[in-house]
Amino acid sequence: MTKWKRANPTGTRDLFFADSTLQEEVEQRLRRVFISRGYEEIRTPTIEFYDVFSFQNRPIDEERMYKFFDHRGRILVLRPDMTIPIARVVGTTMMKPPLKLTYSGNIFRSNKSLAGKYNELTQAGIEIIGIDNLRAEVECIVSAITALQAIGVSQFKIEIGQVELYKSIIKKLSLTEEDEIVLRSYIENKSYTGLTEFLKRKNFDEKDATIRLLQRLPRLFGGIEIVEEAERLATNKEMKQAVVRVRQIYETIARLGYGNYVSVDLGMVQNLQYYTGVIFRGYANDVGEEIVSGGRYDDLMGHFGEPLPAVGLALQVDQIVRVLKEQTPPAEIESAAVLIHYALETIEEAERLRCLLGKDGVKAELSMCETLQESFHFARKHGIQRVIDTAGDRLAEYEWKEKWQLMKEGETSCVTFKLR
């Protein structure tokens, strides 16, 4: 029963010291940005009932959920997603839309072994509920851009896609569900050869305007010129409206001065059944994994109550930390400049001295050692150059200069001693 007591579960890790501090700082900075933009915080349990995530067209496969039972035999899961529990809260409470919500927390998804991905991930994100116009998409993207800027990510792109364009194309084709999945994988992976061979196998007319648009879909990524090409290739009103929404969002963000941070990818068709319109995916130059993901999901809220339009996105904190470490390795945590040795009878004076030094910008900490010699040894080990002894009748300050040298001693009051 003790075989695994020294190991972490697959896909999890421990965070130490500077890495842990950096991750916490990233979460808090993102939180402050979102709150400053008018979002209100919400927290949901790490453990949820399996039923919360058991519905058609859910974005997470059942096989990727960590499931277990409670004492009554009900199936529980470790939260695999942040948005769905928020939809549960909104649908089962008296919250009145429109709502701007922000969250931060860990999610748990079982990935394939040796895939190089963590199974416990930290996300911070936003949800805008009850707004069905493009102001919501614009606000989401701009919020993400300003948040990434605030935490120091210097080079990144947020790609804007539109699943409604792909859905409009598929409506005009007679495909089985299996064929549509294969077709979608070719487009998502930008497999031009695979897509061409697929269309030939299905005997589609390459001269048909819809097929021409479908063939171009994996290549429709870049700037505003991509939107213009898609508008020319669109064959019906539904397709044109889908592309126009992307254009409006792109141009609005560009007018705000953030044009360099956005691009278009109309071949982005992941989680097709979950998303209902514009989708987002963001990447930084330093890592291959996405750091931003989200989009419009107008059908989700209806699973928990009144149907409501909604759009949101999540920032992948773990990947953002990787980006920041690639840009600038995290600074080592500043060690104390002064170690204060004390006896239990003089702890009040020692703590008072630590506070006084802190007010002057000097980082000091209390020693955990019983003897002065042990405190000297601890200070040397941790690079601390000054030790103040408050354990005796008089205070004494020592400084390391090839050996510990007494620099001054005097009053029992730390206030007067510090001023000498």
Checking if the pLDDT of 114 tops 70, the result is no
- Joined together, the tokens standing for residue 394 give 């008089």
Task: Check residues 282 and 285 and name the one with the higher pLDDT.
Answer: 282
Domains recognised in the chain with CATH numbers: 17-327 (3.30.930.10), 338-419 (3.40.50.800)
What end-to-end distance do the CA atoms of the chain give, in Å? Answer: 61
Q: Summarize the confidence of residues 324-330 as an average pLDDT.
A: 78
The mean per-residue pLDDT over the stretch 324-336 comes to 75
User: Average pLDDT of the chain?
Assistant: 91
Distance CA 29, CA 339 (A): 31
Cβ partners under 8 Å of residue 173, min gap 6: 204, 210, 214
Three state DSSP letters for the chain: CCCCCCCCCCCCCCCCHHHHHHHHHHHHHHHHHHHHCCCEECCCCCEEEHHHHCCCCCCCCHHHCCEEECCCCCEEEECCCCHHHHHHHHHHCCCCCCEEEEEEEEEECCCCCCCCCCCEEEEEEEEEECCCCHHHHHHHHHHHHHHHHHCCCCCEEEEEEEHHHHHHHHHCCCCCHHHHHHHHHHHHCCCHHHHHHHHHHCCCCCCCHHHHHHHHHHHCEECHHHHHHHHHHCCCHHHHHHHHHHHHHHHHHHHHHHHHHEEEECCCCCCCCCCCCEEEEEEECCCCCCCEEEEECCCCHHHCCCCCCEEEEEEEHHHHHHHHHHHCCCCCCCCCCEEEECCHHHHHHHHHHHHHHHHCCCCEEECCCCCHHHHHHHHHHCCCCEEEECCCCCEEEEEECCCEEEEEEECCCHHHHHHC
Question: Which residue do the tokens 């697929």 mark?
Answer: 198
From the CB of residue 295, how many other CB atoms can be counted at a distance below 10 Å? 25
pLDDT at 333: 65
Listed in sequence order, the residues at least 6 apart from 62 whose beta carbon sits closer than 8 Å to its beta carbon are 54
Q: What is the pLDDT of residues 121-143, one digit of tens each?
A: 999 999 999 999 999 999 999 99
Q: What pLDDT, on the 0 to 100 scale, is given for residue 285?
A: 86
Chain-centroid distance of CA 246 in Å reads 24
- CB contact at 8 A, 155 and 290: no
pLDDT tens digits along 188-205: 888 888 988 988 888 888
- Structure confidence by residue, pLDDT tens digits, 46-70: 999 999 999 887 888 888 999 999 9
Which residues, in sequence order, are CB contacts of 25 under 8 Å at separation 6+?
Answer: 151
pLDDT band at 392 (very low <50, low <70, confident <90, very high): confident
CB 294 within 8 A of CB 313: yes
Distances (CA, A) of 270 to 189, 203, 263, 337, 402: 10, 25, 17, 53, 64
309 pLDDT higher than 70: yes
Return the pLDDT at 203.
86
Chain centre distance of CA 96:
27
pLDDT at 119 over 60: yes
Region 169-187: mean pLDDT is: 87
**pLDDT given at position 329:** 65
| pLDDT given for residue 420 in this prediction | 57
Q: Are 101 and 40 in contact (CB under 8 A)?
A: yes
Is pLDDT of 416 > 70?
Answer: no
CB hemisphere CA count around 129 (13 angstroms): 27
Closest CA relative to residue 86, chosen from 301, 404, 400: 301
In the block, residue with structure tokens 């699943």 = 163
Q: For residues 99 and 2, is the Cβ–Cβ distance under 8 A? A: no
More confident: 204 or 364: 364
Say if residue 330's pLDDT is above 70: no
Please report which confidence band the pLDDT of residue 1 belongs to, taking 50, 70 and 90 as the band edges. Answer: low
% residues pLDDT > 70 (the chain): 95
- Segment 326-347 shows an average pLDDT of 82
The per-residue pLDDT for 369 is: 94
